[in-house]
């Protein structure tokens, strides 16, 4: 049994929770308890799936062959971000 929480899994490649938490713009379910422990080694009814948006990315719970983990994707397509930056620099 491997007890973990979504907070622990989200922090695997982050420096600190408060900074990451401040970047969250929306999470579904809105009342998700990031500290709630569950057995992360096997998919169980004890875990609560989620999706969350930050300014730069989208994070969501995933499960494969019983193992729970978190997937992430950029919030905007890379080309759109480049186009937005170019538009911003032209307006300066």
Would you say residue 46 has pLDDT above 70? no
pLDDT band at 73 (very low <50, low <70, confident <90, very high): very high
pLDDT of residue 82: 66
Domain coverage including residue 17: 3-91
Q: Under a CB-based contact definition with an 8 Å cutoff, are residues 57 and 63 in contact? A: no
Beta bridge partners of 90: none
Q: CA geometry: angle at 54 spanning 52 and 56, to 5°?
A: 130
What are the pLDDT digits (tens) for 3-18?
888 898 888 877 788 8
What is the chain's mean pLDDT, rounded?
82
Q: Residue 89 is inside which H or E element, if any?
A: helix 78-91
Peptide bond into 91 cis (omega under 30): no
Beta bridge partners of 7: none
Would you say residue 55 has pLDDT above 60? yes
Domain count across the chain: 1
Q: Which sign does the torsion angle of CA 69, 61, 49, 65 carry?
A: negative
């Amino acid at each position: 049994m491997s007890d973990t929480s979504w907070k622990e899994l989200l922090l695997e490649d982050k420096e600190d929770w408060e900074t990451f938490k401040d970047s969250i713009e929306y999470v579904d379910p809105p009342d998700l308890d990031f500290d709630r422990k569950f057995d992360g080694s096997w998919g169980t009814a004890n875990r609560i799936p989620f999706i969350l948006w930050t300014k730069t990315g989208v994070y969501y719970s995933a499960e494969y062959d019983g193992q729970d983990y978190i997937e992430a994707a950029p919030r905007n397509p890379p080309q759109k971000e480049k186009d937005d930056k170019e538009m911003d620099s032209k307006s300066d």
